[in-house]
Amino acid sequence: MPRHLLKVSDFSKEECEKVINRAIEIKKNSKNYSSALEGETLLMLFEKPSLRTRISFETGMQQLGGHAIFYSIKDSPLGKKENISDTAKVASRFVNLISARVYKRQDVRDLAKYADVPVINMLDDFAHPCQILGDFQTIKEKMGRLDNFKLSYFGDAYNNVTYDLMRMCAMFGLRMDVACPKNSEYSPEQIVLGEVSEISKDTGAEINIVHDAVEAAQDSDVLYTDSWMSYGILESEEKDRKKAFMPYQVTSSIIEVAKSDAVFMNCLPAMREFEQTAEVIDGPQSIVFD
């Protein structure tokens, strides 16, 4: 059976560390890995657009000696013109890996169920594992460690990035404060809270849902936020979402509450004066573009 990566907790802590350490090694000595994926082909299925996801996957395959095929399913979603099982089986005959960036979590899970090759989730509405692995690589590069730190998340907590951040922090035994509105529309799903709670029992992690940004920022090492208007959210919702999330905007005053050497992250795309001020994202503590 092929091994899939659908959410970050599909890997163990040790496997995540291995992936991160290998990524750092490849980054430092890329020439040594220029043929690591020679003869390998990756199929990238995109229903939900992304500049960074396509660039990173396609460039990564090329730099490692492999080949990536981009296929847009935006106008013909998975399962619409043929069964997902058929798509998975046919693709498995031609490629070595399948990756998918889709709206619905079940679609990528159905791909994995029927594919004969590994499936990588590039994003769905439940998880964003590659983003979080990349974020933790950056944290290790900047802080030199992946233990004994606090991560604080601000804003929309009913989303894939928040969920996989919670899973990752739980696996690594960290403290994470999620600052979000009390409205369940913007809070983590119960299924995620349950999963994180179970993981934390074994690791000693402390994952908290709070509703005050200053409280969340106290003694934090990493301050993290995500777009308030992600792909697929209607422009008509912007006014209500901005009103709900403005108390969780990361400002210089929020940064000042955190540790003096704290870093700021946003998985992008970012809108200045929405989820964070320009002063923060363009400031000295921002590692958004690292």
What per-residue confidence (pLDDT) applies to 233?
Answer: 78
Domain carrying residue 84: 34-123
- Report the alpha-carbon distance of residue 40 to residue 122 in Å, rounded: 18
86 and 148 part of one domain? no
154 and 71 part of one domain? no
- Per-residue pLDDT for 289 more than 80? yes
Angle between the N-to-C axes of helices 190-203 and 160-171, in degrees from 0 to 180, rounded to the nearest 10: 20
**130-180: pLDDT as tens digits:** 999 999 999 999 999 999 999 999 999 999 999 999 999 999 999 999 999
213 and 147 part of one domain? yes
157 and 187 part of one domain? yes
Q: Is the pTM of this model over 0.85?
A: yes
**32-59: pLDDT as tens digits:** 999 999 999 999 999 999 999 999 999 9
**96-138: pLDDT as tens digits:** 999 999 999 999 999 999 999 999 999 999 999 999 999 999 9
What per-residue confidence (pLDDT) applies to 99?
Answer: 99
What per-residue confidence (pLDDT) applies to 17?
Answer: 99
Nearest to 161 by CA among 210, 190, 126, 202: 126
In this structure, is residue 22 part of a structural domain? no
Q: Give 81's pLDDT tier (boundaries 50, 70, 90).
A: confident
Domain count for the chain: 2
Q: Which uninterrupted H or E stretch holds 206? A: strand 206-210
| DSSP reduced 3-state for 280 | helix
- Report the alpha-carbon distance of residue 290 to residue 141 in Å, rounded: 9
What per-residue confidence (pLDDT) applies to 28?
Answer: 98
Q: What is the 3-state secondary structure (H, E, C) of 1-28?
A: CCCCECCHHHCCHHHHHHHHHHHHHHHH
Which CATH number is 139's domain given?
3.40.50.1370
